[in-house]
Amino acid sequence: MNLILLGPPGIGKGTQAEILSAKFSIPKISTGDMFREEIKRKTQLGQDASSYMQRGELVPDSIVMAIIRKRLSESDCRKGFVLDGFPRTLAQAEALEKITKIDLVLNLSASKKELIERMAGRLTCKGCGQIYHLKHSPPEKRGVCDSCRGELYQREDQKAEVLTKRIEVYEKQTKPLISYYRNKGILVDVDARGSSDKVTKNVEKALGAFMKAKTRRE
Ligand code: AMP
């Protein structure tokens, strides 16, 4: 199953992608995580991506396509994958179509106010990348990851000013993908308001409906 999670920054794509990855035993592929990893390793690619990321802008398509093309050619992607944060532009979606077939796009949505509120409380583990929320899913011990005991921090690009810019970029460059995939008949809308458990239930419902329709068609 080749899945895409579409939605604005802060909607919780990463958390849901993690759950789908475990459920279907397929890799979660997050271009954002891949860039952060390159930055951590101080590679040229990381350096190239970092200034765009700090400003809340998109990394150029050519850089993104090079990294994703390589990742999708790895053997663990043969049985499927869940894409989180890719594609983000029409050019990326068109290029992706030439690489592989997408089965389903889950379009997560919520109000702008809710996004900013949610993002402002989000904490990420420096060690394993696990995501927490001060209010909705706090760690047992303040500032410490439950899984690996790593230090929790707030990502630079999740602070209010950069976040507003990222939402603007989403509206302009990524939102057109909703009608692009809807016109192909492979997009399902998911109500992503509320707790992540609630959103997971909505994702499961959407997936269930898609599977049923698929079986009927076959
Ligand atoms: P994310 O973790 O998915 O929110 O991504 C963090 C940042 O990485 C974004 O704000 C962009 O600067 C960059 N980025 C991640 N994925 C892409 C993509 N598919 N296209 C362009 N830039 C991206």
| 13 Cβ below 6 A of ligand 1 | no
| 16 Cβ below 6 A of ligand 1 | no
| 8 Cβ below 6 A of ligand 1 | no
Chain segment 137-153, per-residue pLDDT in tens: 899 999 999 999 999 99
pLDDT at 195: 84
Chain segment 186-217, per-residue pLDDT in tens: 999 999 998 889 999 999 999 998 888 878 87
pLDDT at 146: 97
Residue among 155, 165, 182, 193 flagged as catalytic: 155
Residue among 28, 36, 118, 122 flagged as catalytic: 122
What are the DSSP calls for the chain, one per residue? Answer: -EEEEE--TTS-HHHHHHHHHHHHT--EEEHHHHHHHHHHTT-HHHHHHHHHHHHTPPPPHHHHHHHHHHHHTSGGGTT-EEEES---SHHHHHHHHHH----EEEEEE--HHHHHHHHHTEEEETTT--EEETTTB--SSTTB-TTT-PBEE--GGGSHHHHHHHHHHIIIIITHHHHHHHHTT-EEEEE--S-HHHHHHHHHHHHHHHHHHHHHH-
Is residue 88 annotated as a catalytic residue, yes or no? yes
Chain segment 6-64, per-residue pLDDT in tens: 999 889 899 999 999 999 999 999 999 999 999 999 999 999 999 999 988 999 999 99
